[in-house]
Structure 1
């Protein structure tokens, strides 16, 4: 009997070890220097949360936002961000066996200051959002992972009421719907969430819909967006207002059902809400606050999609721009741009609360994190 228990325990240990070896963390930055390691890749130990560096990439400027292809073979980055009269998207091949990251090619982003890239589940299309003049570009992806020239580009001129920050469109992200048949574009400058139908089989996959946008509250500044795993609800974080708007979702249509602050009610200014993600079990939503707070706010999610604030967790740094939750839902990793540190948190699946784990990583101007099990 004891022998059987020992064999079972050993099997579980081996399975856990193999699993931990297949989880990778990709970090981007505002490096502003081609000689710096602007993209770094780490291996996540899913037992204790420690990160071990395995490779990096140089010779590119400001890979501020990253995404990983569905098959885990390619990394795509917004590059030349915050660079006047410039903007590009770049592709890299990630080889998990020999632990290498190899530059493949670069294409113009179709606008200045690209801030977000998404890849269609088919692996055939890449979409990037350009912030400064407000536009979105669609690129075909080749079988070898390289980015092809732009197939579609839409630019917007309309703004909203804030005299300094909303003089024109500022598209801040590009998010596919749960079934990847629509594309949503939160536009901070116009106080709109734009929407297109997406047909992966067309040479120009974006087409206008009957409802081309959802209007947000004035001076909200919609930034990032995420969908609930049950595909019934969508959540938009509003940078300028420091709030989250909750929407019922059906076939490209958003209907608002709640709006809730990401910060304590007593704080009226000095915040910049940033990123937003939902735990894999659909029970908790997390959002980051920069500025005065520098924390992750935690919400429970009711069956009807509504949010309830259950607490805050410091990110132990300054300006948490982007964070990510691993595919098991066990860890949350936050990047602090101004303090240049990366913090791993272990997530309590029952309470949703976070606890610091492992050792923090230092990376100058670190701006983005993605986690991929390969």
Structure 2
């Protein structure tokens, strides 16, 4: 009898150990199969008129592609309101705007960093010639860095051999206004390169224009030549802008009218022609709302835009021939004021940065484009999410 009990015990122990061993092996295999990406999160670090900034600077996270979850690596402090960020194509350098006012400096600033494992090393900074720089971008060969200031100015900086920023060789102060109460002055809100990087497009929320520039890479002292402007519907307030990855189509999200506008893009002339505008809100929504951001999945199948007020991400399917948008639905961001969002490099997850509720919400992207809640990551006043 004792012998049978002992055999039963040993057998059960062997099964248990075997299961644990198999579980560890499965976990190891899963870990090896899953890719990891670095995520950089810009924040507001001080109290401003429109936000109670509580962030510590630029947060560094690691993304596990198997789960979509984020693990904090560290934080880069010593920078004020690093609201928007962009990475060089090779991932070696990061550029961040300091969205500041006259209480901090004589103008806003743009800062260059060198990547160093789990932290950033500051190279240098340059003034942006106006307050509240709100967007930054760079070309794939790191020749120029472009900055938009909400207070009416864009600027261009040649990039030095060490990744730092040389003195600006171009800046332009915009003029004009629009019919909406928020359009009392020009407000360039983003700086966007065309897929072939021959043109720069600047949506101006204040004048309902999208300005087009030819980029001159052979003339660093004259990097931009303005070639025209595309007018969107009055009181639209164009804000963020993107191109389809394979079709000659461009899209702009309009902050004030809460719409997304589709445009044909002529790569030979840079010209834009409006084709379609579609609401970002449910038909029965009666509250106040403004739009903030938009992105397209890398396969070109879906476009998403962010609503602040309705606090949602709206999803659209994209017609593979015409680029036209059809509503999929809305997903709650489980927080307040989604200022920006990003899609993971593998296209499986969406990360919505809720500026006023100190959280980033992770949503999975289904095959039909529907978004489903996965997890929440607590981050103080997040604004911008960038993956590398």
Q: TM-score, normalised by structure 2?
A: 0.87
Q: Superposition RMSD on alpha carbons, in Å? A: 2.0
Task: Using the TM superposition, give the Cα deviation of residue 118 of structure 1 relative to its aligned residue in structure 2, in angstroms.
Answer: 0.4
Per the alignment, do residues 195 and 12 of structure 1 end up closer, same or farther by CA in structure 2, a change over 3 Å counting? farther
Question: Aligned pair count?
Answer: 353
Partner of residue 32, structure 2: 17
SS of the aligned residue for 1:55 comes to: strand
Per the alignment, do residues 15 and 120 of structure 1 end up closer, same or farther by CA in structure 2, a change over 3 Å counting? farther
Task: Using the TM superposition, give the Cα deviation of residue 242 of structure 1 relative to its aligned residue in structure 2, in angstroms.
Answer: 0.3
SS of the aligned residue for 2:178 comes to: coil
Per the alignment, do residues 147 and 300 of structure 1 end up closer, same or farther by CA in structure 2, a change over 3 Å counting? same
Partner of residue 385, structure 2: 369
Task: Using the TM superposition, give the Cα deviation of residue 18 of structure 1 relative to its aligned residue in structure 2, in angstroms.
Answer: 6.4
Residue 143 of structure 2 contacts residue 158 of structure 2 at CA under 8 Å; is this kept in 1? yes
Unaligned runs of 5+ in 1: 1-9
Partner of residue 335, structure 1: 353
Tell me the distance in 1 between the aligned counterparts of 2:54 and 2:99: 14
Residue 83 of structure 1 contacts residue 113 of structure 1 at CA under 8 Å; is this kept in 2? no
1:236 to 2:242 alignment: no
Partner of residue 15, structure 2: none
Q: TM-score, normalised by structure 1?
A: 0.90
Tell me the distance in 2 between the aligned counterparts of 1:338 and 1:260: 27
Tell me the distance in 1 between the aligned counterparts of 2:29 and 2:157: 41
Tell me the distance in 1 between the aligned counterparts of 2:348 and 2:54: 34
SS of the aligned residue for 1:218 comes to: coil
Bigger mean CA deviation after superposition, 66-75 or 11-20? 11-20
Task: Using the TM superposition, give the Cα deviation of residue 82 of structure 1 relative to its aligned residue in structure 2, in angstroms.
Answer: 4.8
1:109 to 2:109 alignment: no
Structure of larger gyration radius:
2
Tell me the distance in 1 between the aligned counterparts of 2:197 and 2:80: 30
Partner of residue 90, structure 1: 111
1:220 to 2:236 alignment: yes
Unaligned runs of 5+ in 2: 1-24, 48-52
For residues 296-336 of structure 1, give each alpha carbon's deviation from its aligned partner in whole angstroms, at most 9, with x where no partner exists: 00000012111011111111110000001122111111100
Residue 361 of structure 2 contacts residue 376 of structure 2 at CA under 8 Å; is this kept in 1? yes
Partner of residue 124, structure 1: 143
1:58 to 2:77 alignment: yes
Tell me the distance in 2 between the aligned counterparts of 1:81 and 1:184: 24
Partner of residue 247, structure 1: 263
For residues 1-29 of structure 1, give each alpha carbon's deviation from its aligned partner in whole angstroms, at most 9, with x where no partner exists: xxxxxxxxx999769636523x0111011
SS of the aligned residue for 2:316 comes to: strand
Tell me the distance in 2 between the aligned counterparts of 1:83 and 1:319: 25
